[in-house]
Amino acid sequence: MGARPIQVTSRQMLEPLYEQATGPSLNFLMDLIGRPTCSAWCWQDHSETVASAWFTSVGDEGELIDIRVAENKRRRGLGASLLRFALGELTTTGLAVCRLEVRQSNHAARRLYKGLGFEDTGQRSNYYRVQEGREDAILMAIDLKAILNS
């Protein structure tokens, strides 16, 4: 069990994780991974890919594009472990800040981010489409230097 980098050849092992996913599609993410600004890691349990996390970064600023854990593996600390690992790796490449946006109603993700040290930095009203109407995006960021020095 452990983290490994996602590469342009990783598509097949990620497909089960994205079968019923909301959020960015695997096509979109696989297109990103071909670019030098994208880094991503997945978590493997034996041969099964059970989580993935995708980032873009320019200079010392990065953005979390997507994180997901297989439905039957949630609430076991995997999301936190993968995100902690990935942020650690990105910090060694010079990343100082990581930003993200998350649906206001996504309490699981918001709790995950808060637990790792992300803080709310703003809000985008009516940003996401929902079945009936729209919902706000919460903007969050983590100061990785402060976390490392604390």
Ligand X SMILES: CC(C)(COP(=O)(O)OP(=O)(O)OC[C@H]1O[C@@H](n2cnc3c(N)ncnc32)[C@H](O)[C@@H]1OP(=O)(O)O)[C@@H](O)C(=O)NCCC(=O)NCCS
Q: Which residues bind ligand X (CB under 6 A)?
A: 23, 67-69, 74-80, 102, 106-109, 111-112, 115
Q: Which amino acid is present at 102?
A: V
Measured from the CB atom, the residue of 9 and 82 that comes closer to ligand X is 82
Catalytic residue among 71, 89, 113, 128: 113
Q: Tell me the backbone φ, ψ of residue 84, rounded to 5 degrees.
A: -60, -45
Q: What is the residue whose two structure tokens read 């930095």?
A: 121
Residue whose C-beta lies closest to ligand X:
79
Q: Evaluate whether 43 touches 1 at the Cβ level (below 8 Å).
A: yes
Measured from the CB atom, the residue of 77 and 94 that comes closer to ligand X is 77
Q: Which amino acid is present at 64?
A: L
Query: Minimal distance in Å, beta carbon 90 to ligand X?
Result: 17
Give burial (CB, 10 Å; 0-12/13-18/19+) of 69.
buried
Measured from the CB atom, the residue of 77 and 122 that comes closer to ligand X is 77
Query: Minimal distance in Å, beta carbon 8 to ligand X?
Result: 23
Query: Minimal distance in Å, beta carbon 83 to ligand X?
Result: 8
Give just the sign of the alpha carbon dihedral 32, 52, 45, 81: positive
Q: Annotated catalytic, 101? A: yes
Q: From CA 43, how far away is CA 72, in angstroms rounded?
A: 14
Catalytic residue among 18, 19, 63, 101: 101
Q: What is the residue whose two structure tokens read 């472990």?
A: 81
Query: Minimal distance in Å, beta carbon 129 to ligand X?
Result: 15
What residues act catalytically?
A: 101, 113
